[in-house]
Structure 1
Amino acid sequence: MVEQQKAVHGISLTLVAPVSKLVPNKQEWDTISQLVDILKPFKHATDTLSDSKALLSQAVPMVLRLRRHIERLGAGRTLDSLAGPLTPPAQEVVRRLSFAVRKRLEPLLSSKVHMLAALCDPRLKYNVCPKDFTVWKAQLVNLVREVFAARVAETGTAAPLPEMPVTPSTSASGETESPGEPVGVCRRDTDLQQRPGNVFFAETVAILPCSEESSLLASAQKVDSAECSVNRYFEEPPEIISCDPLAYWASRKHMWPDLSHVARQFLSCPPTSVQSERVFSLAGDVVTPHRSLLDPQTVEKLVFLKANLPVLNFPDLDFDTDDSSTPEQPSQSGSSS
């Protein structure tokens, strides 16, 4: 509606007086435009976290981004896209959004699951919690120790931790890239136009504080294999935005088996229930009024295939139902002649 403001205004000039009153006036247009700019980051965050490939680790940066957005508006600083100060209705929306962010979103910043998932994301690491990094890192080390103890109890032996080679980054396409920045420098993806779905997340990561991990890691001392693997992981610089975190940990499961196990546990969890709801809604495409007598097990298998075949890059099955696919029948006139 805001994009068509000039067109709506032009049409209103041709309307009769009673009808033209239904068209927003200048103050109402200003309020609508401001509400669009205020709510736009929330829409982008919702779309990003509702993506089928979204990870739990993306929730924390989104919360930090939205909190920063609301704090700027609450402090009286207008957005660059706003021509003037906020109107009273827009100020009320900002007040309610600020309350909702504090009540619903900020608790995620103290959630163990969300914070450890963010730490295990090689694109984020310590940048999501520079102040409380040592606290969350200690919890991550404890989880790695538990996995290590369980593995030793099961196998009876503890494989030595291999030396860390210079490892290239793993992109979303599975290709590797040579590390080009020194340790402690946050690497950013400069070619974001090739991945438009990651633009908002990339912008969110770009505003996170870049911290020197050398000042965050503990001083050199005798540590066990769990803490050693965690330290080695954080010694590597954050990966670029196009890095696939799951592919990253799959490529390092032999180097850091216990840490990789913990990281994949956190990163394999989706941030929202949207994808699960989409899977449930697929049953409506399978069970129709013309196909209502299917066995429940058959419905389950069909839904499973419909949801997972695209993920496995399975080729589309070509069911040709056109009349042209049927063999031509011999002409009756030719046979009679």
Structure 2
Amino acid sequence: MRSDRIFALFLGVYLLLALLGKIMFPGYLGTLNPVALFYALLFSLLIFLGYLFSDKLPKERLYLYLVVSTLMGASTGILGIVLSLSILLGGIFLMRNGGTDIRHVYYAGFVLVILLPLIAIVKGVIPILEPHMRYTPMKNLYFASAIFATLLLSYKPNIYLFLIAEAFAVISTFRTNALIVFLAYIFRAGREEAKRVLLLGVPLILLVFIVRFYATKGTYAIWKLGFIQTLVYRAGFSYMVYERLFSLGMPLGRFNILLNKYPRFFVASLFGKSTSYTYTLFGQPAYDFGIFGLMEGFLVGVALRDAERVQTFKSLALVFLVLAIENGFDALNFGIIMGSAFFSLGSREGFLWKEIR
């Protein structure tokens, strides 16, 4: 299935939930801003236009992807740098070896997926038992494990790796961890394999969402919303954050999110909070670039089309683009999308290495 159609499905579901949240909870989330909605829809349209017109653009756009992905990697913290280097070195190894003889690299990554969360567990950071632990710096070990699992599953689906990574996602109580692992497997697996994983994965994803719900109730004693209401409210809340960023960023932007090491904490600070806020796919371009942020949407669409030329990079780009729908763009996910486009286009056009299948 084409990447733009998969993305459109997830984007449509999110927008419906977000708008429903705005309607159901106007006292908390405010009334709908029609101008911000128009910007969001136009940004989405430009993603699809970028996807459609990608083949008509000069092949030298490959070097733009390289510059942007390198800049994104350099601007992140140690976790982002390690992950960026892993993608870079893994991509080069994959290209030069034509996708063969990387079994040992895969196994080494498998060990990391298991080892990183075990370190957190040994240190006593077990959010499923103590929900407040999900806000400590050690939570990044669970996130790093999930991302390494995503990288490996995007290259080669492995049911055991999938189940182990999802188990750690349940322990972490982070829905993001569970979602990216699940999506990587589904996007990369063949049709029959995907059906099997859907039977296993959907209950696991639901379990993570339920665990997160009870973690939220355990952390915030005043939380009164039910499970379904919480999902709708969460989508509407992120969209409300976007509307605030839109109002602050127009017309020319205040560039301070994309290269920020802690973008979600920065966004929360704009609301006078010290926690972490997600801000949707549209929040970062609206705040950073104002009306010119629409061009970022076009670039993302072009990169999505280029990334899908190689299955591994198609999976990676899609996973992190879907993740950004609610979470918003940051240096990590934006860099991975651009890096995926770079390696995929470079392979197909023979700019830097031989073509792989």
Q: TM-score, normalised by structure 2?
A: 0.25
- The structure where helix makes up a greater share of residues is 2
- Structure of larger gyration radius: 1
